[in-house]
Chains A and B, each alone.
Chain A
Amino acid sequence: MSEAASHHDDHHDHHPSGLMRWLTTTNHKDIGTLYLLLALVMFFIGGAMALVIRAELFQPGLQFVQPQFFNSMTTVHALVMIFGAVMPAWTGFANWMIPMMIGAPDMALPRLNNWSFWILPFAFTLLLSTVFMPGGAPAGGWTMYPPLVLQTGAAFPFLIFAVHFMGASSIAGAINVIVTVFNMRAPGMTLMKLPLFVWTWIITAFLLIASIPVLAGAVTMLLTDKFFGTSFFSAAGGGDPVMFQHIFWFFGHPEVYILILPAFGIISAIVPTFARKPLFGYSSMVYASAAIAFLSFIVWAHHMFTVGMPLAGELFFMYTTVLIAVPTGVKVFNWVATMWHSSMTFETPMLFALGFIVLFTIGGFSGLMLGVTPVDFQYHDTYFVVAHFHYVLVTGAVFSLIAATYFWLPKWTGHMYDEKLGKLHFWLSVISVNVLFFPQHFLGLAGMPRRIPDYSVQFADWNMISSIGAFVFGFSQLLFVVVIWKCVKGGEKATAQVWEGAHGLEWTLPSPPPYHSFETPPEPSTIEGGMR
């Protein structure tokens, strides 16, 4: 390490540029940017697939695609959005912000960081290329239940390996966050002083470490069942397909919190900033996050109430599931209490944060409904489930990602974004997303199953409205790209603090972070104690 560093000194002007710079970079800001760009591209690829789905569902009957392709779209849309958009976006924010927030010069393992990013474009090329393979892309649902998933054509091993690569990348990212936060904090930055985004990310990292090997093990057994004659999940060979559902959801439910916990951290940063009041109940936020993480490992079977479990099991998983409402309620209460009697302003990040609080809570409530076993028997595999998890993941995770982007964009680029366009983006999004997903509650309650390309005519009206919402929401996101592009290119200069009510180490660094050289270095007296 030291050898390499000293060797480097003698050639310090040698430095890759252009494409090589991005391929070889170990700088946390570069890698954060790469992650965020990948996430944005994947968001649009997954979004295009969603629009194929909504176009087909605009009217009953088959208009545009074959049922097999339709099912490929639902499957790959989910995989792309979960593993390609939301998770890499969180890792991108972690890379950019965590070192700045804890006063560290970079992530602890810069080379691992580079490697964990570049695995992802490779994994998604693998996954997306299956669309062109004989038998088409995987179409058995992102949950990959056997025996259905074993009917996948040539795409099957590519699906499994893509999932392995995504898992490896996530684990590497999680290890990097943990090692960084536990080792690189500036002196005086104790654990209970960490910004909540850092806290929620550590807890997310622990969830990844506990759950990803389970996913890797599960899909490996699918692979051996298909190619090596094992019968873990085949009843004919003495196995049990229901066991796959248990093992998958042992990973799958923590995965839901992997997608949403960092959002709680973001909202806990944005709300106090624009309410100009310290966050209400910091330590209860930390404990609530930890409680949610713990509970997430003992609720998994609420995804499979209908497989025929013993009554005691159904009761256990129902009680643990509704218990999660307690720590989640603590969080919502704290955000509302922070805003209580405050002097709020409504810039774009705050608008998206408020949208998050209201709409995520709707998703939380429909989750409670689904957690009640006898009720779930009716809702299971209907559009009510689709409505529920899209409220949690689109108006939850994605809204918080957008809020975070507007919140930190001035810090990254040194320019303010176009506030008018940002607000337009918010209002278009918040209205259309409800037009898109709220009617799906009604469809589900009326009995429309999920993952079908055609449906009975009594579902026609709400499907048409939902599809209109989908297209407006999808195209509104192009506005987001316009705002980001304009902000990168120029705009009003941002100050270091950016927002009047902003607190924390990252806001004491200049915007954009360090890009200056000194003719004469500053006198020590002016910077001593100015720990960054």
Chain B
Amino acid sequence: MVTAYEEGDGGARMWVLQPTRSMTWSQAKRFVAAVAAVSFAIGGFFWLLGMPTVLPFSGLEALAVAVAFYVVLRDGERREVIRFDGDQLVIERGTRTVETRYEFNRYWVRVELAGPRSRLHPQRLLIGAHGRKVEIGRFLTDGERESFAGMLINALKKNR
């Protein structure tokens, strides 16, 4: 998902890139609890019938479901912020905090929508200057990536 922000006179712009996540943390918690409840109910039912080996597998499975949702929702908090700062194009990325930061001179920036590494793989959006390249928007769909690349190129042209 790409969100665009206008700043002041409409010249400078900022974009926030994030993976699409349809669930909130609290929805996910309730969902995992419901799945685990059903799984434990079945495991418990067989426990009561004198067949105790189902319950440990139910537990393992509930754990796996919980971990899966945690990983995916946590991963969904990744952000890439692309903005103009004076003569610089700044790319910041991280989860909940800025973990890495790249700066490029905006007049030298090249935006490249490269073909996939192997057939059927997604395209790559590369931003770079002076031989340095950063790939952004790996978690976007191809459509979103193309659309964003177009917006960025236009913004770069406008400010030249």
Contacts and interface: CB of A to CB of B under 8 A. Distances in A.
Contact of B115 (A2, A243, A515, A528): A515
A308 interface: no
B54 A217 contact: yes
B103 interface: no
A516 interface: yes
B115 A213 contact: no
A184 interface: yes
Interface core residue of B31, B43, B53, B65 (most chain A CB under 10 Å): B53
A2 B20 contact: no
Given A209-B61, A527-B143, A1 B95 contact: yes
A27 interface: yes
Nearest to B149: A521
A109 interface: yes
Given A221-B53, A517-B123, A213 B142 contact: no
A9 B135 contact: yes
Contacts of A517: 113-115, 123
Interface residues of A, number: 66
Interface stretch (A100-108, A263-271, A385-393): A100-108
A175 interface: yes
Contact of A105 (B38, B57, B122): B122
A531 to B, nearest CB: 6
Nearest to B56: A217
Contact of B71 (A8, A12, A109): A109
Nearest to B71: A109
B68 A213 contact: no
Given A175-B64, A532-B142, A15 B118 contact: yes
Contacts of B58: 213
B33 interface: no
29 contacts: A2-B93, A6-B99, A9-B134, A9-B135, A15-B117, A15-B118, A30-B118, A104-B141, A105-B142, A108-B72, A112-B68, A171-B64, A182-B23, A183-B73, A186-B20, A209-B35, A213-B42, A217-B46, A217-B53, A217-B54, A247-B54, A513-B120, A517-B114, A517-B115, A518-B149, A521-B113, A521-B149, A527-B147, A530-B147
Interface of B: 1, 19-23, 31, 35, 38-39, 42-43, 46, 49-51, 53-58, 60-61, 64-65, 68-69, 71-76, 78, 93-95, 99-100, 111, 113-124, 126, 133-135, 138-144, 146-147, 149-151, 153-154
Given A9-B135, A213-B43, 8 more contacts: A209-B65, A218-B53, A247-B51, A517-B115, A523-B154, A524-B154, A527-B146, A530-B143
